Structure 1
Amino acid sequence: MNTRSVFDENLKQLKENLLDMAEQAEKAIKASLEALIAQDLDKAQSIILRDKLINEQEEKIIDHATMLIATEAPVATDLRKIIVALRVSSEIERIGDLAVNIAKSTLHIGNEKHIKEIIEIPQMMDMALEMMRDAITSFYTEDAGLARKCAEKDDQVDETYGRLIKELMGYIPENPAATNQITQLAFVCRYIERVADHTTNIAENVIFLVTGKRYDLNA
């Protein structure tokens, strides 16, 4: 196998590792919301403990990328691919952290009866995770067009977030004893909104990867 083929195979492996890391982060986000809805405190605690696995995946990706830079001395497009891979892994790691934050909110609420059935929050999560899947796919396929679509979906998440926060805050005057729960649910909404923000950052990096130009998809 020639030098170029070896380098391309290493880049492919880097992408595969990122796909696996993104899958683990998505599973963690889904599980954290399931724990919230079911008030499964054991499950919430396990999500917090498993976060180290995502962190370890990021460390392996960093080590792999560093090895490629040190041994292959890539230039131009190849170097950009490695740099973007590192940035994407950082955004995914932060999404994993948000799953931990949701799990912690679940623990803070504990077994206190929910003030209302949790329906809209999972719907917002579905939008954010659809964005995440599209952004990761766009990274793997280097599809700048798909990456740009994340901006449109981010607007929908932001709109839902604003509406839910307003609704939740409106419950406090009538349910002052539930202020802690309401506040924690508001935090959960914020964490999901941040998932969409980190996903948009991934999309921006994909566009940079493909075009060499930087775009602010939140503008």
Structure 2
Amino acid sequence: MTTPHEHIVTGFDDEQRRLTAEIVRMGEMAAAQLEAALDVVARRDDRTAARVVANDDAIDALEQEVSQDVVRLALRGPLARDLRVILAALRIAAAIERIGDYAANIAKRSAALALAPPLPQVEALCALGTEAAALTRHAIAAYRDADTGAARRVREADARIDAAYSTLYRELVEAIEHEPRIATSATHLMFMAKNIERIGDHATSVAENVMYLVSGEDDLPPREKRDDSPSLAP
């Protein structure tokens, strides 16, 4: 016969597994959203861009489900480590939701970009975005597997995205200086690149919360940053 304590523990574990699965699904959706936005940019497909933007609602809805599941877990009167599960889940879901938002922003700007002649820097933008999507998937896998080693590698890899973003930013500034008529298109690319750089930051936030979840490590040393470009509104 199951004791009340065992019932509570089993119920908590079941709900935690459900919560983890929802967050993993949410992360996969956000990464796919970014990849779809990049495809729209590369193909200059403004019709598909609208669908990518609309898909962001599904990520937002899933974040609400995660929040409700977190509340149910909290009402079970969890122990200290269980509280880390709850807090990390909230932080990670919020980071993934922002990744989805940034992917939608990229798709929105692609519609305007498609109206102007293509710029060669689009290729570098898509390469940057592909790396950010991969980083997001690695961060989600680290959460799924409670793998602090993988989480640390994600945290370290974000510096490469920073560096690539800074390089692309400088190239776009130089392109505008040499050919002012492309200023509007190049500015759209700058903001899209900044969105991608911020996606890398949020993937890193997921990784840092994996480290907090597993080890309670919440006071990490400053990570390496290689973004030396002027600040842009995200």
TM-score (norm 1): 0.95
What is aligned with 1:136?
Answer: 140
Is 1:176 the counterpart of 2:180? The answer is yes
Q: 1:63 aligns with which of 62, 68, 71?
A: 68
Q: Give the share of equivalent positions with the same residue, in percent.
A: 31
Q: Deviations over 1:4-60 (max 9, x none)?
A: 112101100000001111111111101111111111101111111221111000001
Out of 152, 157, 169, which is 1:153 matched to?
157
Matches of 1:115 and 1:30, distance apart in 2: 19
Q: 5+ unaligned residues in a row in structure 1: which ranges?
A: none
Q: What is the alpha-carbon distance in structure 1 between the residues aligned to residue 161 and residue 131 of structure 2?
A: 7
Deviations 1:83-140 (A, max 9, x none): 1011100000000000111011112223211122622222212221222111111111
CA distance in 2 between partners of 1:131 and 1:63 (Å): 27
1:210 is matched with which residue: 214, 221, 224? 214
Match of 1:48 in 2: 53
CA distance in 2, matches of 1:28, 1:151: 22
Let me know the Cα RMSD of the aligned residues. 1.4
1:3 corresponds in structure 2 to 8
> Bigger CA drift: 209-218 or 44-53?
209-218
Equivalence for 2:40: 35
Q: 1:216 deviation in Å?
A: 4.4
1:125 to 129, 134, 144: 129
CA gap of 1:148–1:85, structure 2 versus 1, over 3 A, is same
Aligned to 2:94: 90
Letter in 1 for 2:168: L
Deviation at 1:174, TM superposition (A): 2.3
Runs of 4+ aligned structure 1 residues displaced above 4 Å come to none
TM-score scaled by length of structure 2: 0.89
The more displaced of 172-181 and 117-126 is 117-126
Partners of 1:44 and 1:103 in 2: how far apart?
5
Amino acid at match of 1:7: F
1:68 to 1:20, Cα distance in 2 relative to 1, 3 A: same
Counterpart AA for 1:44: A
